Amino acid sequence: MCSPEHFAVEYAINPWMDVTAPVDAELAVKQWDRLRETLVGLGHEVHLLTPGRGLPDMVFAANGAFVVDGTVYGAQFKHEQRAAEAAAHRAFYEEHGWRFIAPSETNEGEGDFAYLPEAHGGLVLAGHGFRTELAAHAEAQEALNRPVISLRLVDPRFYHLDVALASIDDENIVYYPGAFSAASQKVLAQLFPDAVVADDEDALAFGLNLVSDGLNVVLNSEATRLAGKLKSAGYHPVPVELAELKKGGGSVKCCIAELRH
């Protein structure tokens, strides 16, 4: 995770960003701290990345890389405003002794990649259409030695896979069908017949931008209906308030890069 101490909406690179809407930086830090404390309280170890001045979106740490079994496939951001973030993430992984593979294709890390270690023997779901290029899916497959399923995003409000889909355990997902092309919807229905399916209200509340340890599902507190669906499916929803960071087009998952050894 990376503190939002420099967080601001200084440019608009997704439909959620409004440069005229005021951002309460102090409140953003408080809400982010609460998220970090929630993860620690659930028994998870949180490493911190030093935020860089002039990089207001660095709080969205999920976009900096994608890690599977100790191998890191690095990010290459689409927009120049975020490009410098990639080097900070690379430095973190290299300092900690991870095997880092530099990308040659545009991709935004866990923003557009999700991993399910036990689904069909280990599967990567990958989004394209707005940020990550389709060619990066093939590059990730070569880098990580895992089959990659390409899913086309068609609604600009759901510009990253992680605002439309999340893994809720090692073999199942929650997703919002409306974010995907008709063909991609069919692929998801075929691969995950027992998926938890979210509605428009959940999706627009950033409910899909969540993290789960297989039991506890940390999600945006606005997504009350989705929390109920997850509870009915046997999970334990843990709501957190992240209204300030939502102004940048992100929520729980965007703030968290998962380190899979």
Is residue 83, in this structure, part of any structural domain at all? yes
Is residue 30, in this structure, part of any structural domain at all? yes
Beta-sheet pairing, 236-240 with 216-220: parallel
Is residue 14, in this structure, part of any structural domain at all? no
Query: pLDDT tens for residues 95-116?
Result: 999 999 999 999 999 999 999 9
Enclosing domain of residue 59: 25-255
Query: pLDDT tens for residues 204-228?
Result: 999 999 999 999 999 999 999 999 9
Across the range 122-148, mean pLDDT stands at 98
Across the range 235-253, mean pLDDT stands at 97
* Dist CA 37 CA 133 (whole Å): 34
Is residue 115, in this structure, part of any structural domain at all? yes
Q: Work out the pLDDT band at 158, boundaries 50, 70, 90.
A: very high
| Residue-level pLDDT at 24 | 95
Is residue 54, in this structure, part of any structural domain at all? yes
Q: How far from each other are the two terminal CA atoms of the chain, in whole angstroms? A: 17
Question: What percent of the chain lies above the pLDDT cut of 70?
Answer: 100
Q: Work out the pLDDT band at 153, boundaries 50, 70, 90.
A: very high
User: How many angstroms separate the Cα of 112 from the Cα of each of 53, 163, 205?
Assistant: 25, 9, 19
| Residue-level pLDDT at 235 | 98
Query: pLDDT tens for residues 227-236?
Result: 999 999 999 9
**pTM score:** 0.97
Is residue 37, in this structure, part of any structural domain at all? yes
Q: Work out the pLDDT band at 240, boundaries 50, 70, 90.
A: very high
Question: What's the whole-number average pLDDT of the chain?
Answer: 97
| Residue-level pLDDT at 197 | 98
The CATH number covering residue 190 comes to 3.75.10.10
Secondary structure (H, E, C), the chain: CECCCCCCCCCCCCCCCCCCCCCCHHHHHHHHHHHHHHHHHCCCCCCCECCCCCCCCCCCHHHHEEEECCEEEECECCCHHHCCHHHHHHHHHHHCCCEEECCCCCECHHHCEEEECCHHHCEEEEEECCCCCHHHHHHHHHHHCCCEEEEEECCHHHCCHHHCEEECCCCCEEECHHHECHHHHHHHHHHCCCCEECCHHHHHCCCCCCEECCCEEEEECCCHHHHHHHHHCCCEEEEECCHHHHCCCCCCHHHCCCCCC
Residue 253 phi/psi, 5-degree rounding, is -60, -40
* Dist CA 68 CA 112 (whole Å): 14
Q: Work out the pLDDT band at 32, boundaries 50, 70, 90.
A: very high
Active site amino acids: 160, 254
Give the count of domains, the chain: 1
Is residue 261, in this structure, part of any structural domain at all? no
The Cβ-side half-sphere exposure at 166, using a 13 Å CA radius, reads 27
Q: Work out the pLDDT band at 175, boundaries 50, 70, 90.
A: very high
Is residue 194, in this structure, part of any structural domain at all? yes
